[in-house]
C-alpha cells in the first residue's frame, strides 16, 4: 500500500496498538461542534427558496464557485440553500477531513481536506455515491447502514470511528478511520443528511508496523526475538492441534561459543552469530516456519506441519552449512570452524499436552546431543 499523505498528525506515542482510538475523541468532538453550531445557525430560510442549475445548487456569487471551499453542493433533494451555505462555512473551518452525503449516499459537499483524501477534484466527487470509494466489505456494511437510517429518519444515528480502506479516485488506497453521523430533518429543513469525519491513518499505520517489527526482532541477528517466538509458538500450537497436524520444534546451541568469544573477541563473536542466523533462516522449509534467537548463542525453529523426518532434514541442513562457515573475512585462520548441537521434539496427535512440554522435550534432546559429544542432532522420542 502506498502512503499518500498525513494531515499533520504526530506519531502514536502512547497507544500504537489501537490507532482508531487515538482519534475517537477528536471525531466525536468535531461532530458535536458541528451539531451545536447548526442548532443555532442552521435554520431554514424564511422563503424556503433554493436554486438548482444542472442538478447542482447555485452559490451566492460566482467568486465562491471558483474558491477551494465546500460550497458547491448537489441540491437534488431541494435542501435549504441557507442551511447548505452555513454548513459549508462550518466544515471549511474545521481542521478535519469532512464530507456530507444525502440519505442516498450521494456526495453533497466536501471540505478541502476530504477532497485531498479522496484524490479527485470537487467537481468529480460531488454527485457520486461515496460508497463507491470503499472496499467491497465496507461498502456492503455502509450501504446497509444508510438503508437502516433511511427507514428510521427520526432516529439519531452515529457510527464509528471505524477503520476502513478508501479506494481513491487515482486508484491508490488509503487507510482511514471514519465516523458517520446523522443530520435530522429539523436541521436540514427538508430531508436528512449525514456528515462523515475521516482521519488519514496511512503514515501512522506504517509507523506502527515498523515499531511492531522492531519490538519482535532481535537487533543483532535480524531473526525473531524471544517475545515473537513465544507468541508464534502459542499460535502454531493452537493451529496444529485444531488441524491435527504435526508441530516440530528445534533448539540449536552453538558449541563452545564462549571460547570463540574469549579467543577472537566479542565483535567477531557477534559476526559469528549473524552468520549462523543467516544460515538458519535460509534453511527453513517454508514461509510458515519461524527462526528466532532464543537467547545468547541459542536459536529455535518452529516448524508447523512438519513431522520428525522433515524436522531432522532441516536440522541436518543447518548443521552442514554451519560446519562449512568460514571466518577468513574477519582475518581468522581458515582452520577456524564452529559447530552446533540440536535438539528436536515433535508434537503429533496429543503426544505433548502443552507448548511448554514440547519445549522441555526439545531442550532435553539438546542436552543429550551436547552430552554425546556436541555437533550432533538428537530427536526426542
Active site residues: 297
Q: Is residue 117 within 8 Å of 3, Cβ to Cβ? A: no
CA distance 74 to 52: 8
Q: For residue 241, what is its C-alpha cell?
A: 492441534
The crossing angle, in degrees rounded to 10, of helices 226-243 and 355-371 is: 110
Measured between alpha carbons, how far is 179 from 199 in angstroms, rounded to an integer?
9
Phi, then psi, of 121 in degrees rounded to 5:
-75, 160
Contacts of 335 (CB under 8 A, 6+ apart): none
Q: Report the distance separating Cα 353 and Cα 355, nearest Å.
A: 7
| 3-class secondary-structure state, position 158 | strand
Query: Locate cell 429518519: which residue?
Result: 153
Backbone angles phi, psi at 92, to 5 degrees: -70, -20
Query: Cα 152 vs. chain centroid, distance in angstroms?
Result: 35
Selection from 264, 249, 126 nearest residue 272 by Cα: 264
Burial of 355 (0-12, 13-18, 19+ CB in 10 A): buried
Angle between helices 202-215 and 19-41 (to 10 degrees): 160
Strand pairing report for 247-254 and 158-167: unpaired
Cell 478508501: give the residue. 166
Amino acid at each position: 500500500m502506498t502512503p499518500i499523505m498525513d494531515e499533520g498528525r504526530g506519531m502514536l506515542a502512547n497507544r500504537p496498538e489501537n490507532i482508531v482510538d487515538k482519534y475517537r475523541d477528536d471525531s466525536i468532538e468535531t461532530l458535536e461542534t458541528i451539531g451545536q453550531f447548526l442548532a443555532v445557525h442552521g435554520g431554514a430560510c424564511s422563503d424556503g427558496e433554493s436554486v438548482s442549475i444542472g442538478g447542482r445548487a447555485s452559490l451566492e456569487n460566482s467568486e465562491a464557485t471558483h474558491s477551494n471551499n465546500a460550497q458547491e453542493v448537489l441540491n437534488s433533494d431541494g435542501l435549504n440553500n441557507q442551511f447548505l451555505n452555513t454548513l459549508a462555512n462550518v466544515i471549511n473551518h474545521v481542521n478535519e477531513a469532512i464530507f456530507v452525503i444525502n440519505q442516498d449516499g450521494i456526495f453533497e459537499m466536501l471540505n478541502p481536506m476530504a477532497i485531498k483524501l479522496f484524490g479527485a477534484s470537487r467537481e468529480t466527487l460531488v454527485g457520486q455515491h461515496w460508497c463507491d470509494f470503499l472496499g467491497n466489505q465496507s461498502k456492503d456494511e455502509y450501504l446497509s447502514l444508510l438503508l437502516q437510517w433511511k427507514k428510521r429518519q427520526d432516529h439519531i444515528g452515529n457510527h464509528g470511528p471505524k477503520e476502513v480502506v478508501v479506494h481513491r479516485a487515482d486508484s491508490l488506497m488509503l487507510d482511514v478511520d471514519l465516523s458517520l453521523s446523522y443530520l435530522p430533518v429539523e436541521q436540514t429543513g427538508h430531508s436528512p443528511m449525514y456528515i462523515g469525519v475521516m482521519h488519514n491513518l496511512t503514515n501512522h499505520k506504517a509507523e506502527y508496523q515498523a515499531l511492531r517489527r522492531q519490538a519482535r526482532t532481535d537487533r543483532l541477528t535480524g531473526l525473531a526475538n524471544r517475545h515473537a517466538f513465544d507468541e508464534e509458538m502459542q499460535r502454531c500450537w493452537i493451529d496444529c492441534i485444531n488441524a491435527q497436524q504435526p508441530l516440530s520444534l528445534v533448539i540449536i546451541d552453538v558449541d563452545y561459543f564462549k571460547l570463540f568469544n574469549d579467543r577472537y573477541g566479542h565483535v567477531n563473536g557477534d559476526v559469528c552469530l549473524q552468520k549462523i542466523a543467516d544460515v538458519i533462516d535460509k534453511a527453513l522449509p517454508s514461509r510458515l516456519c519461524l527462526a528466532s534467537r532464543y537467547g545468547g548463542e541459542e536459536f529455535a525453529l518452529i516448524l508447523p506441519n512438519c513431522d520428525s523426518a522433515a524436522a531432522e532434514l532441516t536440522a541436518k541442513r543447518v548443521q552442514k552449512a554451519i560446519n562449512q562457515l568460514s571466518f577468513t573475512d574477519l582475518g581468522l585462520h581458515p582452520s577456524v570452524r564452529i559447530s552446533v548441537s540440536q535438539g528436536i521434539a515433535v508434537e503429533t496427535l496429543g503426544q505433548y499436552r502443552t507448548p511448554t512440554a514440547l519445549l522441555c522435550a526439545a531442550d532435553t534432546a539438546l542436552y543429550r546431543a551436547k552430552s554425546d559429544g556436541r555437533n550432533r542432532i538428537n530427536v526426542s522420542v
